[in-house]
Structure 1
Amino acid sequence: MRLLFGLMIGAFIASPAAADEIENARTVQIAVDGTISQRCAMGNVPNIDFGELNRGGQTMRARVALDCNVPFTMKISGSTGALTHTSMPLGQGPYSGALPYALGIAMAVRHPSLETVNRVFDSRSLRGGGSFSSNGGIATDGMTLSIELGTPSGEAGLLAGHYAETITITVSPM
């Protein structure tokens, strides 16, 4: 019994309620923070060669790496608004020197839920530039570009020769 009584007194003395208050106690706050920089990275886009342009309606697709850790905007422009004959862009006689195309862009974005956003641009509208938004999402899974060739405006088809167009895509964080 004495042993039990001694243990109870020892437990009472060691309890926090019996401990003396610390005088002049101070509170310390520690601020913890960090930063992640905005980043939008796009992989190389391969050159697209359609070869012989006599067949209308040809389509080519390219998968392009795209990784943006913030919502973003794309600006797209075409230098001439069509695949144009390199030396006679206006054509000659009944033959056209320009072949319009449609540029499609499709990508998965996260909000955190997954959504697919896509847009198709007519090449003539790209001459003045177009824009495309990620709708507030981020992109981590790349994008698919597609180019579908249209029909020449000339009554006899396309003028013989080499045709080219330069499409510029600029990705900017919002």
Structure 2
Amino acid sequence: MKRILCVLGLAMLVVLCAIQPACAQVTAYAVGQGAVNSVEVGVEVRASVRSRCGFATGGAPTGSVDQADFDQSGFTKDFAIQLNCTGAARVAVSSVNGGMATQAAAATGYGVKAPYQVALKVVADNGTSSTASCDAATLATGGSCSFAGTAGSATGLRLAGASTKANGSYLRVSAPSYAGTAPLVAGRYADTLSITVSVSP
């Protein structure tokens, strides 16, 4: 009698598997019996890093030039720049006076503003760089220099790669001895440059 019951039970199991074929693909074992159960699933993980761009700590160009008798000797000086940009960037420069200007009273036949040049070089971490040079006069409001004004998505000298290291970027101001037709009036001459940086598409 017991043997007959076992045969009937086996027949029922076969019928169930025939009705539900999936039961033949997954086998569950009790702890310590058979192979370890393993189910493979796919989990998609996504993340993003937002672009950042500015000057590194202590990396903004600062300082001054104080050259006596610059009309005769000229001057040149570099100001180091270190950016902290994780992608493409733009750098722009603006000038308050558009040249070296004095507050001294103008005298007939004398000049009160001397021209000078501004050069900009920005270097990416991969070694690529962008350079440009303009007269200070073209950096004043409405000036025509390619990097004049305030940096924005479409304004300023564009650097295509990320730049986060001290890699040789600089702002250079220079002038040869003054060659204008009107001699410069005696006095203190000055200009102020402002440099800005922005993320670029």
Match of 2:172 in 1: 146
Match of 2:67 in 1: 51
Kept in 2, the 8 Å contact 1:105–1:118? The answer is yes
How far apart are residue 146 of structure 1 and its match? 0.8
Mapping 1:15-164, distance limit 5 Å: 20-22=24-26, 28-42=41-55, 43-52=59-68, 53-88=70-105, 91-110=106-125, 113-127=126-140, 128-129=142-143, 130=148, 131-134=156-159, 136-142=160-166, 143-150=169-176, 151=178, 153-156=180-183, 158-164=184-190
- Provide the aligned length of Structure 1 versus Structure 2: 148
Q: Distance in 2 between matches of 1:67 and 1:78?
A: 23
The AA in structure 2 aligned to 1:33 is: R
The AA in structure 2 aligned to 1:155 is: A
How far apart are residue 48 of structure 1 and its match? 1.4
- CA RMSD between the two structures: 2.4
Q: Which sections of structure 2, spanning at least 5 residues, go unmatched?
A: 1-23, 28-38, 149-155
Q: Which sections of structure 1, spanning at least 5 residues, go unmatched?
A: 1-19
Between Structure 1 and Structure 2, the one with more strand by share is: 1
How far apart are residue 102 of structure 1 and its match? 0.6
Question: Under a length normalisation based on structure 2, what TM-score does the superposition of the two structures give?
Answer: 0.64
Question: Under a length normalisation based on structure 1, what TM-score does the superposition of the two structures give?
Answer: 0.72
Question: Runs of 4 or more off by more than 4 Å in structure 1?
Answer: none
Larger Rg: 2
Q: Distance in 2 between matches of 1:132 and 1:76?
A: 9
